[in-house]
Structure formats: structure tokens, C-alpha cells
Amino acid sequence: MIWTHDGLAADLAEHLRVNTARLVWENMQMGPSGSPRPDVFTLFKSWSRPLPTAYEIKVSRADFLADVNAGKWQKYLDFAGTVIFAVPKSLIKRDEVPAACGLIVRSDKIWRTTKGAPYTPTELPEAALLKLLIDGIDRLTHTIGPRQARIWDAARLERRGLAKDVAAAAVNLAQARVYAEKVAAEAAEIIAEARRTRDDIARQLAADTDTVRQKIAAALGMPESISLSNLADNLDRHFAGREASLSADCEIKRLTVLIDQILDCLKSAGRRPPPVPYWQLPKVTA
């Protein structure tokens, strides 16, 4: 939909009037001739927080940029604690709006505030109050018709839908946290069980090692209380002696075979081998 300036201002005013706690004026000059004239101006019916707010309608991007660059919106700060730009959707970007201003956007169905504005406490000048009283009384007589009711219903339904989405997200988050805590507890139990198994295996290995140590010590005629290091040293010496003994036995066998071969050769030659004195036999060293 292509909006005109006055059409968009009237539509915004109708939207704001849905909240009956707010007074809404369109195109109201805020004082004598030459005073600023906001497109829409609102006051809440509250002594402590009337929140005077000025709305600036923009239907042209060039007009918006010119206003922002020139700082024209600042003239409203004399009688408004907040200045909000009101535009059709896709006209401007949120980050193009001055930091001190807000932004409300007209979508296909409803108005949506896309950028909040900081509020500066402001007292309305006497001239502005008199102008609102003298010229603004008749403009406040307004009845909410079917169109405004439909807009309000659409906004309410949208808020309800968003609330459902937020509630569903909160439930999902809570369920995810419960599941994560359950997984963490199960993981902790698995780790604890693994540590217990490791400790049991270590104790069993220690017991088996001690039993083997005692049996080896008894077989070698050593005290059962002998330490593993001393037992290892004794085993090294024991096997070293056995290797030497085995080597001597092998040498004796080799010489015996050699003597038998010599005797066989002499017999084959028809000669009787002379007796060999024992002192001439080869000595065998262990």
C-alpha cells in the first residue's frame, strides 16, 4: 500500500487511541503562531508520568534523511520527552534513526515498534498547555469504531502468538537443561564406576604380584618377605649360574663325541689305541 503523509498520520492516531488511557492530537500546533507542529502528539492521563510524546510522520526516504541531517526533530524536545519517527515498512533502517529517537513501522496489518526511545522528563510549557486546552478539546472527542477494534484485535493476537512462542521456547530451554543435567549425572556415574573398576584391578594386580613373589622366593629358598628388587637381583644371578653350568655340560658332550670319533678311526685302521693317562686328558673348565 502506498501511504500519503496525512493518511499515515491518521492511521497512527487511530492506532494510538485504542489505548484509552492516552490523549492523542493530530497536527496540533504547540503554542502561538510559528510554534512547532508535530504530526501526532500524545499524553497519558497521569499526573506522575504523562510522558508527552511527539511522532514525526515520514513517507519519503529523502524527507527522512533531510530531517535527520538537519536535526529538525530536535525542536520537539521543548515540549516532548520522546520523539518517535513513524514510517511505512521498508522505508528506512533501524540503525538510521538517531539514538535519541524511536521508530514505529506500519506493516501490512498493524503498527510495530522496532526501536525504543529513551525518555527525558519534560514539563509542558504553559503556551503548549493552553493551546491543547483551547484548540485541542474538540479533537479529543473520538469513538473507537470497528476498524480500530480490528486493529487492536490483530495486535492482541500477534502479542498472544509471540507469548506462546516465548513460552514454548522457555519450556524447551527448561527441558534441555533437565536433559543436560541428567546426562551430566550419568556421565559422572560412569566415570566413578570406571575409577572403581580401575582401583579394583590395581588391588588385584598387587595381590597377584605379591603371591607370585612369595612363590618364587620359596622355590629359590629365599625369605618370602624379600622385596621385588632383591628378588630380581637374585634371579639374575641364579640364571647367570645356570647358563654357565649349561655351557660346561655342552663342552663335555662335544669332547666326548670327538673322542668317540677318534676311537672309531683307530679301530678302522686296525690299531688299538694306547691308554691315555688321566692327567693328559683335556681339562674342562666350568
Q: Do 136 and 238 lie in a common domain?
A: no
Query: Could you give the angle at which helices 146-219 and 5-17 cross, rounded to 10 degrees?
Result: 70
For residue 150, is it within any domain? no
For residue 147, is it within any domain? no
For residue 217, is it within any domain? no
Q: Do 9 and 124 lie in a common domain?
A: yes
Note down pLDDT in tens along the chain; length 286 residues. 789 999 999 999 999 988 888 899 999 888 888 889 999 999 998 888 899 999 999 999 999 999 999 999 999 999 999 999 999 999 999 999 999 999 999 998 899 999 999 888 888 888 888 888 887 777 665 544 555 555 666 666 666 776 677 767 777 777 778 778 888 888 888 888 888 888 888 888 778 777 877 777 787 777 877 887 786 777 777 767 666 666 666 767 776 776 666 666 666 666 555 665 655 556 655 5
For residue 252, is it within any domain? yes
For residue 168, is it within any domain? no
Q: Do 234 and 135 lie in a common domain?
A: no
For residue 250, is it within any domain? yes
Task: Report the number of distinct structural domains present in the chain.
Answer: 2
pLDDT at 109: 87
For residue 172, is it within any domain? no
Enclosing domain of residue 264 = 228-280
Q: Which of 87, 122, 142 is the last residue of a domain?
A: 142
Q: Which of 142, 171, 186 is the last residue of a domain?
A: 142
Q: Do 135 and 233 lie in a common domain?
A: no
Q: Which of 142, 176, 195 is the last residue of a domain?
A: 142
For residue 157, is it within any domain? no
Q: Do 108 and 13 lie in a common domain?
A: yes
pLDDT at 143: 46
pTM of the model: 0.51
Cell numbers that stand for 18 in this block = 485504542
- Cα separation, 43 vs 46, in Å, equals 8
